[in-house]
Chain A
Amino acid sequence: MAGDPNQFEMFNRLLDEELAEAEHAALQEVLKEDAAAARQLAYMQRLDRLLRATPLASPSSDFTRRVMGAIAELELPEQIRRRMGIGIALGLAIAAILTVPVLSALLIIIARTVLDPQSLAALLGTLSGAASTLWGLGGSLADALNQVVFETPVVPALMTTAIPIGMVWAWLVWYLLGWPELLANRQRL
């Protein structure tokens, strides 16, 4: 019986109280002649009683409070995620609605401009004028900066001090807002 492939089925069903009366009687007959199987079954039945008698283990008394505390910590990024999700969906919907008319209008304007020599010349003139104005502005700004830096050496010193201080402030704000903990919570999930 110990090597019988049906043994596990019969023992399992016996332990699960699913054996019919006739099957139970037949099994008892077999066990009378197979001491090893009978011994094994006896230990399995002891084990079965032991497991059934062991109650559910309980967590500590403040378990629910701790779980709800952890959930409260999760809430902020969760709300942000949900709001961002809604924002992205709205943005995409608006973009989809606007795409066809805006693109059509743009194509019409481009086609009219390219096909009309006068408009094309005016557009090129405007573009080159804007480019030269920007170039001039950039040059003037560079000259002004050059003068300030070389005439007042305190400026570069202030800048080199302001950058690390700014970084420290940024880290402090990030830390005080609790972002490291929120990130850790998200990673845990």
Chain B
Amino acid sequence: MTVSEESDALLVHLTLEGDQQAFEDLVHRYERDVFNLTYRMLNERGEAEDAAQEAFLRAYSNLERYDVNRSFKTWLLSIASNHCIDRIRKRRLTWLSLEEPLPPHPALTSDTPNPEQATLENERNVVVQALLDNLSPDYRLAVVLRYWYDLSYAEIAEMLDTTESAIKSRLFRARQALAGELESQPASVLGPVLEGS
């Protein structure tokens, strides 16, 4: 067990004893991980924030069932993954109302101080999200968990309740499909995005 996992277990214990600050620390520690997963899966900031919040609420309500021998982060991510899959299944075609305020440009909310780098990151983000959007939810989830969380095949398989070979196959097919999509993009779009990577 790592230092971070030990500290997670302590915070979970304190939360179960009624210490709200302890859970706030856990939310603060993992908000970026959970939000990134919901955002990569749902591809819409507002919905992704709602889904991330829901994942934390579910974790809080089911904290008594959490097995301290498992990684808290992996447990939290599996709750968020399941919730995203449910949301995608229930998703209906919705129209963006013109009266609704548009979300701010990601470059404006980015942590990156350099505006040029923020713009490049934003462009890269747009390309990545467009690529991910073409994948089925199962394939997308395998890619997200592998690339952004560096989870092993065994960990992903355990989270998604499937076998390691199924995850390997899913990831290869997803990589193959994404590479095909990348190949079909015009060089003018991909040039600056790929240069920085």
Interface residues of A, Cβ cutoff 8 Å to B: 8-9, 11-12, 15, 39-40, 43-44, 46-60, 63-64, 66-68, 70-72, 74, 78, 188-189
Contacts and interface: CB of A to CB of B under 8 A. Distances in A.
B168 A8 contact: yes
A50 B57 contact: no
Interface in B40-59: 40, 48-49, 52-54, 56-58
A8 B173 CA distance: 8
B86 interface: no
B125 A46 contact: no
A58 B128 contact: no
A67 B53 contact: yes
| Interface SS majority for chain B | helix
Given A40-B179, A55-B121, A64-B24, 10 more contacts: A11-B172, A51-B143, A57-B35, A59-B49, A63-B31, A68-B20, A71-B20, A71-B23, A71-B56, A74-B61
A85 B54 CA distance: 25
Nearest to B58: A189
B176 A63 contact: no
B147 interface: yes
B197 interface: yes
B24 A68 contact: yes
Interface residues of B, number: 50
Interface of B: 20, 23-24, 27-28, 31-33, 35-36, 39-40, 48-49, 52-54, 56-58, 60-61, 109-111, 121, 124-125, 127-128, 131, 143, 147-148, 168-169, 171-173, 175-176, 178-180, 182-183, 193-194, 196-197
A64 B61 contact: no
A28 B20 CA distance: 56
Contacts of A12: 168, 171-172, 175
A78 B18 CA distance: 12
A8 B28 contact: no
Contact of B179 (A8, A47, A70): A47
B60 to A, nearest CB: 6
Contacts of A53: 124, 196-197
12 contacts: A8-B173, A12-B171, A44-B176, A50-B182, A51-B147, A54-B197, A57-B39, A58-B32, A60-B109, A70-B57, A71-B20, A71-B57
Nearest to A63: B31
A83 to B, nearest CB: 13
Contact of A50 (B58, B111, B127, B183): B127
A67 B175 contact: no
A59 B32 contact: yes
Given A40-B176, A43-B179, A58-B111, A50 B124 contact: yes
Nearest to B183: A43
Contacts of B168: 8-9, 12
A66 B53 contact: yes
A67 B121 contact: no
Among A59, A64, A72, the most chain B Cβ lie within 10 Å of the Cβ of A59
A9 B124 CA distance: 28
Contact of A47 (B28, B35, B175): B175
A67 B54 CA distance: 8
A68 B27 contact: yes
A59 B168 CA distance: 30
A49 B178 CA distance: 12
